[in-house]
Amino acid sequence: MTLNGVGKSGMVRSALRFLLAVLLLFSLQDPARAQQSQPPAVVVSKPIAEMVVDWDEYTGRFQAVQTVDLQARVTGYLAAIHFEDGQLVEENQLLYTIDQRPFELAVKQANARLQAAEATRDLALLEFERARELFNRNVGPQSAEQRTSAAYQEALANVALSEAELEIAELDLQFTQIRSPINGRIAETQIDIGDLVIGGPSGATALTTIVSVDPIEFVFTASEADFLKYARLNVTGERGTSRTTPNPIFVRLQDEAAFDRGGAMDFVDNRLDPNSGTILGRAVFENREGFLQPGLFGRARLLGSGEFEALLIPDSAIVADQARSIIYVVNESNVVETRQVVRGEIWSGLRIIRSGLSAEDNVVISGLQRVRPGGQVSPVLEQIKLPAAE
């Protein structure tokens, strides 16, 4: 009896200890469970509605408005160079001088031939007048009048020919001084003093190159799709064609972050390239300090639409899912839903959403790592702030 009683009491004590251990374990786990049962906190905001325009991006390069490959018009030996390589030159500034002595002699010869021709003309005029007077008095024959008249006309022609030869000689003398036809920056000289310079319309010696500095052009190509878009916007009046409208364009260079170099469109080609399906566009930029150089590449933003209302959210609120763009929104029951959206350009630091989002949606803008589709969250509403415009 005693042994059975002791056995029963031991079993009771063991059961009590097990129950106390289980209760203690549950008491320790309850706070963690309570904490895990609370929905995670996320920051949500409604998108900003703003009037915006589209900006289309292109890659292009700068080129000079004017480029002159300087060549000589007359042949001779170079006598002097009047500039430093790479300097800025002005229109009509003297750059080269070809040895003028042979050309000065040619002017003297032409002038002497003109004087001789004028003397012959004067003598022919006297003989013609005498023969005409004799003929009118019936003293001289008509053949004499005709012969002297022809001689006089020939003398007049020789005078005109000599005058033209003198003008050509004087012009060649002027061409021995080679001047800049434009304002711009000159390249290095291709010849040295004492070199023979070949002039003329073909085979002429290349002397140097001059490019204009201010303004400067930016050229790029647009796709056929972009061309059609601009053409239709022009028809509807939302955006004028760049052929007649100086649409704004902004460029940044390779080492620049902001598009802060502003210019205006001034030309669109009259046809698309059938091989590439693109069309050439051109814009003009001020370059008073001469910083922009022909050949520099840049990234351009061209006005691509008329003004329209768009919804804006931070770019960080968008999750890339393979080829899709996903955002998370919180519904009235604080449940997370996914929305597939179509992204537009960046506007004043925020991303334009073209479709898939409404103005009343509460978009998760912070705490994306704590949300899952269909899960509950504790939303904290904040206002999206519009950053300063670029």
Instruction: For 315-343, give one letter per residue: b (16+ CB within 10 A) or e.
Output: eebbeeeeeebbbbbbeeeeebebbebeb
Per-residue pLDDT tens over the stretch 100-141: 999 999 999 999 999 999 999 999 999 988 888 888 888 778
Per-residue pLDDT tens over the stretch 175-210: 999 999 999 999 999 999 999 999 988 889 999 999
Q: How confident is the model at residue 5 (pLDDT cuts 50, 70, 90)?
A: very low
Q: What is the pLDDT of residue 234?
A: 95
Is the confidence at residue 4, as pLDDT, over 80?
Answer: no
Per-residue pLDDT tens over the stretch 276-317: 999 999 999 999 999 999 999 999 999 988 888 899 999 999
Q: What is the pLDDT of residue 219?
A: 98
Per-residue pLDDT tens over the stretch 31-87: 545 455 688 999 999 999 988 888 899 999 999 999 999 999 999 999 999 999 999
Task: Give the mean pLDDT of the chain.
Answer: 89
Tokens of 277: 């399906």
Q: What is the pLDDT of residue 22?
A: 55
Residue percentage of the chain with pLDDT more than 90: 71
pTM of the full predicted structure?
A: 0.72
Q: What is the pLDDT of residue 2?
A: 44
Q: What is the pLDDT of residue 322?
A: 74
Q: What is the pLDDT of residue 143?
A: 84
Is the confidence at residue 151, as pLDDT, over 80?
Answer: yes
**Which residue, among 88, 99, 107, 156, has the nearest Cα to 128 in the 3D structure?**
156
Q: What is the pLDDT of residue 286?
A: 96
